[in-house]
Amino acid sequence: MKNRLLSLLCVLCTLVPTTLAQGLKDAYKDYFKVGVALNVGNLTPDQEAIVVREFNSVTCENAMKPVSVHPERGVWDWAQADSIANFCRRNGIKMRGHCLVWHNQFSNWMLTDKKGNPVKKEVFYQLLREHIHTVVNRYKDVVYCWDVVNEAMSDDGRPRRWGEAPNPYRESELYKLCGDEFIAKAFEYAREADPNALLFYNDYNECDPGKSQRIYNMVKKMKDAGVPIDGIGMQGHYNVYGPSMEDVAAAIELYSKVVDHLHITELDIRANEQMGGQLQFSRQGMEIKPYVRTLHEDQYNSLFRTLRRYKDKIDVVTFWNLSDKDSWVGTSNYPLLFDKDLKEKHVYYTVRDFDPALDNAVVIEDFKPSELNQPGQEYPMVNSQGYARFRVDAPQARSVIVSLGLGGRGGTVLHKDKDGMWVGTTEAPMDEGFHYYHLTIDGGTFNDPGACNYYGSVRWESGIEIPAHDRDFYANKNVPHGRIQEVLFWSESTQTVRRAMVYTPPFYGEQVGKKAKKPVQYPVLYLQHGWGEDETAWSRQGHVGLIMDNLIAEGKIAPFIIVMTYGMTNELKWGHMQEFDWTAFQRVLMDELVPYIDQHFTTIADRDHRAMAGLSMGGMETRMATLARPEMFGYWGLLSGGIYEPKDLEGVMAPRHIFISCGSKEFGDRVNAAVESLNAAGYKATGYVSEGTAHEFLTWRRSVREMAPLLFK
Ligand code: XIL
């Protein structure tokens, strides 16, 4: 929320255009094919265009299943399968055939005779052989592999009946008639029909350690007996909570010991844990909460990262359906990369525009506790590259997300380690400097008990510090230090007691030497925080006092006072910027606080010794206040808070110096252009762009360091 608001407020968003791949198939051309399951409803011009752009393998969702093509004895219905196959033929897309034998959507008539009595297995085999030969032959030119047998293994591996040994096989009608021999027969018939097609055993829950072992054992047994099984199809009907990537990797490793070809055949990642074909009915009214979207995107991201790692073992990854609109698990299960209106979701880009460098990144294991941790707390940790690692104790939680992350994906999803602790490391190094964050545990917002809290996003957020290479300028050193005091003042306009934090430089108010001298008078900078923050931000996360002390100690600036008060920014509601009353704060600041400060501190109470600056929304307040009452302040500073242009200053009492800054990940070009045009128009203006930083406090700490020497000259 905060990031969204800030980016809107300051028109900061400079999206870096990268050279983008055309479609999924192009992005993954060096890894594996990317496929999609289609039904005839997908054969519309708009959907066909997506298929052609994105995919290089197609599976019929239902149209080639026995019940579809061979509903009754002697009755063949090719219409739907033909139209999908013809679409593929026209577009040069090869198909995965799905499927020849399954306990569901099967030609059940094969199992009984005309009178309805069970047939002998020899009779069944004859019918099955004819079926397989007919279907395989019809699509030989376009189908490169077949799911020959689907879902023949048991889910739980438990005994069916009291006192019996567990049966690794599903006790389907097929199994009851033939035992596991029907599996061998089906593969033999398929190989006879098309010696060139790759033949697959296909199943779900295939990453479950128990079931993957049953699948492996069966395929091993069959292959040892000479059954022509070329590959294992991992269906990939996953959800936001599982499987773990450890289980996915273990299944891939296991299966690749027995077959040379692994296909992910039916990938979707749904928002809940239910299984099976009845999902459409239980999803009613389901709302996808933002944290579930984050889990969803993370699961896709982690999965594709894992699959890329195993590109030598995996030939194709097929999505089960094109868009959420016609997903078999229902639109509101949010399962696919395209939404119900066929638009790419954010997760589509995460999957497509992956960074191979991140896949191969080596994280150096020199993590140390963040310097902002609570006393004695080990986590969060930071390493020398800028990775952050989190560890949270939440034994009963279903999901833990840290709001820090990359690529707008909503953060870093933690996973339970073997000790039951939730742990995770950011996917890439973070920017140097200070970051706010919080935890989202099962959708609720919490602070990290390891970290200290800092006011931002209209709440006390957890904070973490990635040590910056130039952190010396705000280091706490053995130099004379100023003081930051809390000042409570009465505001007539708001009828409230208000608070300001006031920095006075070293030796302020102290009588140096024995003889009482006239107190030194100081200029004053009024310095505003951003949206979501308050009057504590600049001194705590901004380290403004230390920055001043160090600049003074180095003789880079003459001492001055800094006054920081609450800018009344936090009542602003999302989308209601227009309604924000800029004048309420102007009254408090200029009619109440400035006179109070001039009365209670030894200041030089004139325009040439008074400055106003602010970060982000505090910059916008500075801009409004200085343009409205230019006689109040001689020095104006905008820190990631917009710009002044010469036209803004027409007819306005000219400032003595303008300072404009931002981070290099913000709108540096606009800052530089504005400063140039101000200089050209005869104004004294200085710009600064903080290297490698965004809309965060390291930008503003550095900005104060750059701005302070320019003030009151
Ligand atoms: C599903 C289809 O998507 C649905 O339209 C149909 O009603 C049931 O079957 N495993 C498989 C697929 O191998 O064939 C199933 O497809 C999903 C589970």
HEC per residue, 334-367: CCCCECCCCCECHHHHHHHCCCHHHHCCCCCCCC
Using CB distances shorter than 6 Å, the residues near ligand 1 are 61-62, 150, 204, 235, 266, 277, 328
Residue nearest to atom 8 of ligand 1 (CA): 277
Cα(370)–Cα(372) distance, integer angstroms:
5
Q: What is the pLDDT of residue 95?
A: 98
Ligand 1 atom closest to residue 321's alpha carbon, by position in its atom list? 3
Q: What is the pLDDT of residue 162?
A: 85
Establish whether the linkage from the previous residue to 207 is cis, with ω within 30° of 0.
Answer: no
Ligand 1 atom closest to residue 147's alpha carbon, by position in its atom list? 13
Cα(502)–Cα(604) distance, integer angstroms:
15
Give the pair of three-digit tokens for residue 574. Answer: 């999302």
Residue nearest to atom 16 of ligand 1 (CA): 61
Question: Which of 328, 329, 333, when mutated, tests ligand 1's pocket best, judged by the most ligand atoms within 8 Å of its CB?
Answer: 328
Residue type, 630: P
Cα(84)–Cα(276) distance, integer angstroms:
25
Ligand 1 atom closest to residue 151's alpha carbon, by position in its atom list? 13
Distance from the CA of 629 to the center of ligand 1, in angstroms? 69
Cα Rg, the chain, nearest whole Å: 33
Give the pair of three-digit tokens for residue 164. Answer: 């019996």
Residue nearest to atom 17 of ligand 1 (CA): 277
- Mean of pLDDT over the chain: 94
Q: Is the Cβ–Cβ distance between 704 and 551 less than 8 Å?
A: no
Report pLDDT digits (tens) over 191-244. Answer: 999 999 999 999 999 999 999 999 999 999 999 999 999 999 999 999 999 999
Ligand 1 atom closest to residue 328's alpha carbon, by position in its atom list? 3
Which stretches of the chain score pLDDT less than 50?
1-19
Cα(455)–Cα(438) distance, integer angstroms:
12
Residue type, 81: A
Question: Which of 60, 69, 104, when mutated, tests ligand 1's pocket best, judged by the most ligand atoms within 8 Å of its CB?
Answer: 104
Report pLDDT digits (tens) over 482-506. Answer: 999 999 999 999 999 999 999 999 9
Q: Is the Cβ–Cβ distance between 635 and 656 less than 8 Å?
A: yes
Distance from the CA of 249 to the center of ligand 1, in angstroms? 25
The reported pTM is: 0.92
Q: CB neighbours of 328 closer than 8 A, spacing ≥ 6?
A: 61, 268, 277, 279, 280, 320, 321
Which of 575, 597, 571, 574 has its CA nearest to residue 585?
Answer: 571
Distance from the CA of 474 to the center of ligand 1, in angstroms? 61
List C-alpha distances in Å: 244 to 233, 300, 443.
18, 12, 20
Q: CB neighbours of 537 closer than 8 A, spacing ≥ 6?
A: 454, 455, 456, 529, 530, 564
Q: Are strands 368-369 and 314-319 parallel, antiparallel or unpaired?
A: unpaired
Q: How many residues does the structure list for the chain?
A: 713
Residue nearest to atom 13 of ligand 1 (CA): 150
DSSP 591: I
Backbone angles phi, psi at 477, to 5 degrees: -115, 170
Q: What is the pLDDT of residue 11?
A: 38
Ligand 1 atom closest to residue 277's alpha carbon, by position in its atom list? 8
Distance from the CA of 268 to the center of ligand 1, in angstroms? 12
Q: What is the pLDDT of residue 518?
A: 80
For the chain, the first-to-last Cα distance in angstroms comes to: 40
DSSP 293: H
Ligand 1 atom closest to residue 65's alpha carbon, by position in its atom list? 14
Report pLDDT digits (tens) over 506-555. Answer: 999 986 555 667 889 999 999 999 999 999 999 999 999 999 999 999 99
Question: Which of 106, 238, 266, 324, when mutated, tests ligand 1's pocket best, judged by the most ligand atoms within 8 Å of its CB?
Answer: 266
Distance from the CA of 276 to the center of ligand 1, in angstroms? 9
Instruction: Tell me which residues are annotated as active site.
Output: 151, 266, 616
Distance from the CA of 421 to the center of ligand 1, in angstroms? 37
Distance from the CA of 541 to the center of ligand 1, in angstroms? 54
Distance from the CA of 62 to the center of ligand 1, in angstroms? 7
Which of 137, 252, 279, 266 has its CA nearest to residue 197?
Answer: 137
Residue nearest to atom 12 of ligand 1 (CA): 61
List C-alpha distances in Å: 594 to 313, 526, 569, 571, 643.
70, 9, 19, 23, 24
Question: Which of 39, 61, 96, 99, when mutated, tests ligand 1's pocket best, judged by the most ligand atoms within 8 Å of its CB?
Answer: 61
Which of 541, 554, 540, 545 has its CA nearest to residue 525?
Answer: 545
DSSP 647: G
Q: What is the pLDDT of residue 12?
A: 35
Give the pair of three-digit tokens for residue 59. Answer: 């599976």
